[in-house]
Structure 1
Amino acid sequence: MIRFSANLGFLWTDRPLPDAIHAAHAAGFAAVECHWPYDTPAADVRTALDATGLPMLGLNTLRGQPGENGLAALEGREAEARAAIDQAIAYADVVDAGAVHVMAGFASGPAARQAFERNLGHAASQTDRTILIEPLNRHDAPGYFLTTTDQAREIIESVGAPNLKLMFDCYHVGRTEGDVITRLTDLLPIIGHIQFASVPDRGPPDQGELNYAAIFAHVASLGWQTPLGAEFKSETPEPPLGWMTRLAALG
């Protein structure tokens, strides 16, 4: 059976992070993940995780200054980028997060790629945890450095670190590349985490253009074991979750 992880960057955002972890547990999620937990003491998050038995699958590096969306591909910002990476790894160590997503930022060109690869090499060398990179679609994040799964694969192969993996977000791939099932199969060896939301509105997965019944069944057929990240936006404080029972049974 397919299992799901609640992304608390979008779900139960009306309450403190430890309370959101408890809400995810009560709703039947098998894991949690988050975006930027740093305003909450890591010990408090760890206490909530221990109380619920939920693993924390991942968290993001800081975005940087207001208006920025990551630092790792910004030429000349290496010290800040590595400080953000080290901060994320330290937080992940306390809460035992499985992965750290290193955010690239708004940049382009060969110098940006070189900076990104150097900083990813640093991140991968500092921890045995998985380091993730995620292509973001051009509609939601115009100007973001990393935009396609092919670009991500080239960078992962160039860095050559065994713990550097792809965050495959079906929503972003669906909006930018399409053919989600084929891309999942092709990229499986380098995928470290899978997320999902409807296309194009980033809502629950039982609506929109993507057939998540087929996608989740395919993910199960590939032998994927880790909970899939529910990173969808909810219009209500209590997110709609009727899809969980229906779609989980497909795997």
Structure 2
Amino acid sequence: MRFSANLGFLWADRPLPDAIRAAKAAGFDAVECHWPYDFPATDVAAALQQTGLRMLGLNTRRGNPGENGLAALPRRGSEARAAVDEALAYAAATQTANIHVMAGFAEGPEAEAAFIETLRYACQRASDRTILIEPLNHYDAPGYFLSTTTQAETIIEKVGAPNLKLMFDCYHVQLMEGDVTHRLERLLPLIGHVQVASVPDRGTPDHGELNFPHIWQTLDRLQWSAPVGAEYKPVGDTDASLGWMLAV
């Protein structure tokens, strides 16, 4: 099993280029991030080249303070497209494989139409990259437009683009729907990235409701070969939290 360090949570106290170097030193196979835009893409690209790590994913901007994405917000289409363009440019400069287009706080048919329109734009513009959508649980992100894999499956079908995939975060899926094993099996053709954290505390993937040895075995059985995103919140120093990897 290979792992990607999510630098939105791991080594979050360090500048992104330094966090990339820390991930390499800790033995991760790749990295991913949330919002890298405070750091020049040239500095991030240099750290990636120096370490030999690949950046697997980044997010579109959240929007204004208090917002959590723009893509599903009616009458905000121009801002949503600008956020997509910015993410694509940063991804190109850093050779990042996937872009997570954040939906935002919204509901109803008008929001769905806005989301689909933005995703079609993103998929057309990102012909050589994968666009991801991620259901978020309603404890951490109440009011977020996309909250279940069932809803995401419908959106992917309606958009109809081969480079639109599901970000399957076992933490969010367990909180909202459960049945993680069967959902991984059924949704495998739609999944573009897998992430893990413990439930319900979003800590290291070695305790809580989820049976992580079984999840690793399931992913192996499904022949999932890409690095799995470690998107957990360490308690204290990140390096001191990495003992879970030794047991995988």
Q: Which residue number in structure 2 is paired with residue 82 of structure 1? A: 81
Do the aligned residues in 2 keep the contact of 1:85 with 1:123 (CA within 8 Å)?
A: yes
Q: How far apart are 1:237 and its partner, in Å? A: 2.8
- How do residues 81-230 of structure 1 correspond to structure 2 at under 5 angstroms? 81-127=80-126, 128-230=128-230
Counterpart CA distance in 2 for 1:58 and 1:192 is 10
Moved more, 231-240 or 216-225: 231-240
TM-score normalized by structure 2?
Answer: 0.98
Deviations 1:61-95 (A, max 9, x none): 00000000000000000000000000000000000
Q: Which residue number in structure 1 is paired with residue 242 of structure 2? A: 241
Q: Which residue number in structure 2 is paired with residue 71 of structure 1? A: 70
Counterpart CA distance in 1 for 2:23 and 2:130 is 23
Q: Which residue number in structure 2 is paired with residue 40 of structure 1? A: 39
Structure 2 unmatched ranges of 5 or more: none
Counterpart CA distance in 2 for 1:153 and 1:245 is 34
Q: How many residues align?
A: 246
Instruction: Name segments (4+ residues, structure 1) moved above 6 Å.
Output: none
TM-score normalized by structure 1?
Answer: 0.97
Deviations 1:10-40 (A, max 9, x none): 0001111000000000000000000000000
Q: Which secondary structure does the structure 2 equivalent of 1:241 belong to?
A: helix
Q: How far apart are 1:236 and its partner, in Å? A: 1.2
Counterpart CA distance in 2 for 1:53 and 1:181 is 32
RMSD of aligned residue pairs (Cα, Å): 0.6
Counterpart CA distance in 1 for 2:118 and 2:13 is 34
Q: What amino acid is aligned across from residue 87 of structure 1 in structure 2?
A: E
Q: Which residue number in structure 2 is paired with residue 20 of structure 1? A: 19
Q: What amino acid is aligned across from residue 15 of structure 1 in structure 2?
A: R
Q: What amino acid is aligned across from residue 184 of structure 2 in structure 1?
A: L
Q: What amino acid is aligned across from residue 225 of structure 1 in structure 2?
A: S
Q: Which secondary structure does the structure 2 equivalent of 1:70 belong to?
A: coil
